[in-house]
Amino acid sequence: MKTIIEPFRIKVVEPIRMTTRAERERLIREARYNLFGLHADDVLIDLLTDSGTSAMSARQWAGIMQGDESYAGSPSYHRFEAAVRALMPFRHIIPTHQGRAAERILFSVAVKPGDRVPGNTHFDTTRANIEASGAEAVDLVIPEGLDPESRHPFKGNMDLDRLEAFLAEHPGRVPLVMITVTNNSGGGQPVSMANLRGVRAVCDRHGVPLFIDACRFAENAYFIKLREEGYADHSVRAIVREMFSLADGMTMSAKKDALVNIGGWLAMNDDAWAEQANTLLILTEGFPTYGGLAGRDLEAIAIGLEEVVDEDYLQYRIASTRYLGEALSRLGVPIVQPVGGHAVYVDARRMLPHLSPLQYPGQALAVALYEVGGIRSCEIGTVMFGRRPDGSEQPAPMDLVRLAIPRRVYTQSHIDYVIECFEEVQREKERLPGYRITWEPPRLRHFTAHFAPLTAGS
């Protein structure tokens, strides 16, 4: 059969409130053209993020009822710990309320001012937590990872030569190396097992530990199965175990590939770091057997981890993202190639060449998608990255719009609707206005900035 069906039936539904284009034009104007300012029930298809937006299974909801809320030693913690360790065999597994809490604890423990932490491409919260510890976050992804048109199968790979040179250049100043799977900030692109092995070897030569930012580990493992020689016959579980056997620790946002709405963890082998991490955990998150979560959340994670490595699920997941990407390509919409695991990234700068980067083509496309079809997406470009610490403004390297696909939430007809909206936007694209910012906060402006469309002559 050619059709890859959603490998689930729907037992509980959430209605989508339909709106008209005229209503949406008013709503986005009232939100000052910032999609973060919309009420979510005014959105028809919400592709803002794949984080915390997964649909849980009947088994997970049943697990929620079985959650044990004991302050210390909850059996739910032990089920969580066993489920994590079955895939990621680390000595210490420390639950946190989400990924960035794991990052903050790790970097508070491991990093000193003046240190440097190389990665393929650090996610923004990872970078911000490294910088908050007084260290520098450095991205060393392979050159193909920065070229939207390159079809390299593992564009998330670390540049091993640059990593080797970097570690040789900064002896004693690199407390750990971090590799993000899949590489979210670089288009959701996977990292190969060969590259992970190479990074491990470089780390060993320099005596530096390796941590994995593991948010989308199952999608990464499935890409290894599909694309890397010698892995077609390995189970995803075995691939996941091999990936993590190469690392000394990990941070995790369970809001992605643990199929839950909240949660995360930090895991590692080093006893001394773990002891310090647990002390900080008690100070800021909670006791080590719940760490900022309820017992019921830990149950849902334990079950989610079994479901996410199911290969029927992963086949559907990767196929559905690719389905959207390939359809947009056929319409002539420029996208980052090849399609990543959790999202399609549209190259808005190439799609709207009549707008200069400082007229925010990504924002223009995101607003148009909302007005035309009620679709919420996320600008990842000059709005997000254009303001420099010295106050000046510069174009970001790319102006992308991310269409992130929540797990197990939308069906193929929802995605067909998104494709049809793009057809309409393609017809109108020469007429889409650019935007200017009328107000912005001092930092992280994309969340709250106000915009106004540029009219002729403005």
Nearer to ligand F0G, 98 or 192 (CB): 98
Q: Which two tokens stand for residue 404?
A: 């992130």
Residues forming beta bridges with residue 163, ordered by sequence position: none
Nearer to ligand F0G, 100 or 446 (CB): 100
**Residue 182: cis peptide before it, omega within 30 degrees of 0:** yes
- Cβ-proximal residues to 133 (8 Å cutoff; 6+ apart), any chain: 107, 108, 111, 112, 113, 115
Q: Shortest gap between Cβ of 50 and ligand F0G (angstroms)?
A: 7
Q: Shortest gap between Cβ of 250 and ligand F0G (angstroms)?
A: 11
Distance of CA 369 to the CA centre of its chain: 21
CB 64 within 8 A of CB 79: no
Cβ neighbours of 178 (radius 10 Å): 27
Nearer to ligand F0G, 180 or 363 (CB): 180
Q: Shortest gap between Cβ of 268 and ligand F0G (angstroms)?
A: 16
Q: Shortest gap between Cβ of 122 and ligand F0G (angstroms)?
A: 8
Nearer to ligand F0G, 291 or 433 (CB): 291
Select from 119, 152, 117, 158 the least CA-distant residue to 134: 117
Whole-angstrom distance, CA of residue 180 vs CA of residue 26: 39
Whole-angstrom distance, CA of residue 302 vs CA of residue 282: 22
Whole-angstrom distance, CA of residue 307 vs CA of residue 298: 14
Where b means 16+ CB within 10 Å and e means fewer, 277-315 reads bbebbeeebbbbbbbbbbbbbbbbbbbbbbbbbeeebbe
Select from 96, 153, 145, 147 the least CA-distant residue to 318: 153
Nearer to ligand F0G, 217 or 359 (CB): 217
Nearer to ligand F0G, 255 or 317 (CB): 255
Chain residues binding ligand F0G by CB under 6 A are 49, 51, 98-100, 123, 125-126, 180, 184, 213, 215, 253, 255, 264
Q: Shortest gap between Cβ of 240 and ligand F0G (angstroms)?
A: 17
Whole-angstrom distance, CA of residue 259 vs CA of residue 61: 12
Q: Which residue is nearest to ligand F0G (CB)?
A: 99
Nearer to ligand F0G, 221 or 355 (CB): 221
Q: Shortest gap between Cβ of 125 and ligand F0G (angstroms)?
A: 5
CB 121 within 8 A of CB 186: yes
Q: Shortest gap between Cβ of 51 and ligand F0G (angstroms)?
A: 4
Q: Shortest gap between Cβ of 399 and ligand F0G (angstroms)?
A: 17
Q: Shortest gap between Cβ of 255 and ligand F0G (angstroms)?
A: 5
Q: Shortest gap between Cβ of 110 and ligand F0G (angstroms)?
A: 16
CA distances, 186 to each of 142, 182, 224, 234, 403 (Å): 11, 9, 17, 27, 14
Nearer to ligand F0G, 148 or 264 (CB): 264
Burial group, residue 419, by CB count within 10 angstroms (0-12, 13-18, 19+): middle
Whole-angstrom distance, CA of residue 256 vs CA of residue 79: 19
